[in-house]
Structure 1
Amino acid sequence: MISKYFRLAIIYCLVCFSCVPTKVKTETSNNLAATALKPFGRFFINPSQQLELISSAAHFGFSFEGSGCALFASIPNSEGHNYLQYELDGVYQKRIKVHGNAKEPLVISAPGPGKHTVWIYKATEAHTGPIIIKQINGTNLTPLSRPAAPIIEFIGNSITCGAAADPSEVPCGTGVYHDQHNAYQAYGPRVARALQVNYVLSSVSGIGVYRNWNSDGPTMPQVYEKIDFQSGNPQLWDFKTFTPQIVSIALGTNDFSNGDGKKPRLPFDSVNFVTNYVRFVQTVKSKYPTARIALLSSPMINGANRTLLQNCLKGVKNSVDVLNPAAKPVELFFFQPMQARGCSGHPNVEDHALLAKELEPFFKKLLR
């Protein structure tokens, strides 16, 4: 059945992953099973031996020879859609929509013959649902590993996800929430690429430390250990999979939020915030005892709340440092205020570039 779909894809070029608008023939000499891939980020090998990309910017790479190859991808929701994005030969290309009812493979076409490298990324966050990778067909396929380098784990909310950042295809206020997600262009992956390190995103839109954007929970401390950040999922993430040198935590935007203005919302509780934040940092340290911890403020909080958040983060740092006297101290980074230009007041891809540039010296110093 797979070979039938692959022939259809080659004949009709049903889905083309190239900026070059030409029909490309691909000769298949082998296939790469999902279990042979070497994913980075939160993932799951399901009972059907397929790879499920879970977290924002979860990614894998492979090389092929010739003018193209075919990727078999799907999502659990037959009526929905999700997004991948990809690099070809080290150059970012674009986002690609994965339809729930798609039967044909996605064809990645190269501009010429020879050997080519591809890195596939999940553009959306864990709560959007997994993207399932079944296999890849092509010529002389080889799975790629990430180069040996330090790892930064970026924990955060919608900003860290790259949510609402890219309205280039679906304008703000239209479509569904994840239509404007672009995890690859978010500040975390940008910083990591600039510093030539590896990264994992552990982020959920609307989530907070002791309360969320418009609810009391489940908060990040309550879902961080779950493989997909869903409180009802009994499956836990194996924290031995990756060992970050730095864990960056950027939470607080949603704790300060007034919500939708309809649901009753108590004033911000700084004691509750600091207490829960300290407990969460201790949880992170229990997973990665040698990692440096960096607490980031929010570029979306200004005025008196900005000062209050900064003071709260200083309180978290002081408490954690006292609890761990033998460890390196917690580091703090305070963003400059930003007038975000993305959808619903979020940073857009250009804003994320500015945030990343602001962060680079900070993380460069920590990596030393």
Structure 2
Amino acid sequence: MKHLLKLSFVFLFIVACKSLPTATSTTFVKHSDNKIVYEGRVGQNENNSASEIYWSGTSIKINFNGTSVKAILDDENGTNYFNVIIDGTKSEILKLEKGKKEYVLAKDLLEEKHSLEITKRNEWTYGKTQFFGFEIDGELLEKDKEKELFFEFYGDSITAGHGNEDFTGEDKADGNVTNNYNTYAAITGRVFNAEYSCIARGGIGIMVSWFNMIMPEMYYRLNPNDENSKWISQKTPDVVVVNLFQNDSWIVNRPNHKEFKRRFGTEKPSEEKIIESYANFIKSIRAEYKNTSIVCLLGNMDITKKNSQWPNYITKAVNSLKDSKVYTCFVPYKNTKGHPKVEDHQLIANQLISVIENRIIK
């Protein structure tokens, strides 16, 4: 009987131990871990202790088995915003503070496989963000299979997503109402499950901008603030989309603006000069990417309103190239004030997707 009681006690003890919750181990994932997937142009800080995030839409993604994730980030000005996307669903907007901080991205998750991605909402002009790594209550898993397609976008405030979630009428640029994830560019990338890179700045043009930089002086940069910082791509884009000239179309009619004077002197550029400038920029992209398909997009602010000559300028520029892999896509004027909102971006995306589906990726 004593033996039976002893065996019963041992059995109950084993069952009780098995029912106790197991402590989840904490894993630190360094920024350089090869199981992290980056999209966009990402640099390294001086001592390679962190990755540097500049451009709109840049993303960092991991897969893990666990219950919570933190990120260690250092924001230059405390003005950047990121989306937090858990298991493919946007969960919150992360507003960064100035300096190096630890941020809880996800907590109280079921202890099972999850994905976590953060994407930069606003422009590089708000300052860079350094990413040191993730801290997981759980285990880091293998990254997703590499995407088969790669799309790169060059643009201005439309492509950056200026105020696309601002429905107050103020048309603000701040990251709480600017969301690159919901631009036509990012939407198009997701439809094709393509790796995504966005090179954009509000106010920029090909010939002239509202400030002292034009896209031909910026498009090749890794760090947009450093003219000597050249991006060396590890892969060639399948599709490049250029959505520029909106700002040029305004400034060429403002002869008293300092950038007009600096770029043109006293004389407005001729139609021939406008066409040549656009063609030369497309040639510079072609020199980098020999076999990439290039879509010359316009829309959907007033550059495509009725009787605008700018779509015609681009058509003539494209025709002059005699390049069978350069296409045009013009989206009609939205006929409302301010920058495109999310629904306007969806309309641009619809037309762009149609061009890519029917003429490029068949």
Distance change >3 Å, CA 176–CA 276, structure 1 → 2? closer
Q: Deviations over 1:107-133 (max 9, x none)?
A: 322542211111211112222222211
Q: Tell me the SS of whatever aligns to 2:67.
A: strand
Shift of 1:228: 2.8
Unpaired runs of 5+ residues, structure 1, are: 1-25, 322-326
TM-score w.r.t. the length of structure 1 is: 0.81
CA contact (8 A) 1:73 1:106 kept: no
Distance change >3 Å, CA 174–CA 189, structure 1 → 2? closer
Mapping of 1:1-368 within 5 angstroms? 27-36=24-33, 37-48=36-47, 49-77=49-77, 80-101=78-99, 103-109=101-107, 111-138=109-136, 139-142=138-141, 144-145=143-144, 147-167=146-166, 173=170, 177-212=174-209, 214-215=210-211, 217-230=212-225, 232-238=226-232, 240-258=233-251, 263=257, 267=268, 269-301=270-302, 307-321=308-322, 327-340=323-336, 345-365=338-358, 366-368=360-362
Distance change >3 Å, CA 147–CA 106, structure 1 → 2? same
CA contact (8 A) 1:82 1:128 kept: yes
Looking at structure 2, the residues matched to 195 and 162 of structure 1 have their Cα atoms a distance apart, in angstroms, of 20
Looking at structure 2, the residues matched to 153 and 55 of structure 1 have their Cα atoms a distance apart, in angstroms, of 12
Looking at structure 1, the residues matched to 145 and 85 of structure 2 have their Cα atoms a distance apart, in angstroms, of 14
Distance change >3 Å, CA 176–CA 296, structure 1 → 2? closer
Shift of 1:68: 1.0
The aligned counterpart of 1:7 is none
CA contact (8 A) 1:56 1:201 kept: yes
Distance change >3 Å, CA 310–CA 176, structure 1 → 2? closer
Shift of 1:280: 1.1
Q: Deviations over 1:168-218 (max 9, x none)?
A: 7xx564986444220100101101212222221111111001011x34x41
Distance change >3 Å, CA 71–CA 340, structure 1 → 2? farther
Looking at structure 2, the residues matched to 144 and 338 of structure 1 have their Cα atoms a distance apart, in angstroms, of 40
CA contact (8 A) 1:61 1:143 kept: no
CA contact (8 A) 2:27 2:140 kept: yes
Q: Which amino acid aligns with 2:87?
A: D
Q: Tell me the SS of whatever aligns to 1:208.
A: coil
Shift of 1:89: 0.7
TM-score w.r.t. the length of structure 2 is: 0.82
Looking at structure 1, the residues matched to 202 and 291 of structure 2 have their Cα atoms a distance apart, in angstroms, of 28
Q: Which amino acid aligns with 1:74?
A: D
The percent of aligned pairs where both chains have the same amino acid is 21
Q: Which amino acid aligns with 2:155?
A: G
Distance change >3 Å, CA 28–CA 54, structure 1 → 2? farther
CA contact (8 A) 1:41 1:59 kept: yes
CA contact (8 A) 1:340 1:351 kept: no
Q: Tell me the SS of whatever aligns to 2:294.
A: strand
Q: Tell me the SS of whatever aligns to 1:105.
A: strand
Shift of 1:320: 1.5
Q: Which amino acid aligns with 2:59?
A: H
Distance change >3 Å, CA 360–CA 283, structure 1 → 2? same
Select between 146-155 and 287-296 the one with higher mean Cα deviation: 146-155
Q: Deviations over 1:244-296 (max 9, x none)?
A: 11111010100011599773656564333222211111111111101011101
Q: Which amino acid aligns with 2:150?
A: I
Unpaired runs of 5+ residues, structure 2, are: 1-22, 261-266
Q: Tell me the SS of whatever aligns to 2:118.
A: strand
Select between 171-180 and 114-123 the one with higher mean Cα deviation: 171-180
Distance change >3 Å, CA 143–CA 236, structure 1 → 2? farther
Q: Which amino acid aligns with 2:348?
A: L
CA contact (8 A) 1:172 1:180 kept: no
Looking at structure 2, the residues matched to 135 and 337 of structure 1 have their Cα atoms a distance apart, in angstroms, of 43
Q: Which amino acid aligns with 1:220?
A: M
CA contact (8 A) 1:127 1:228 kept: no
Shift of 1:152: 1.4
The RMSD of aligned alpha carbons is 2.6
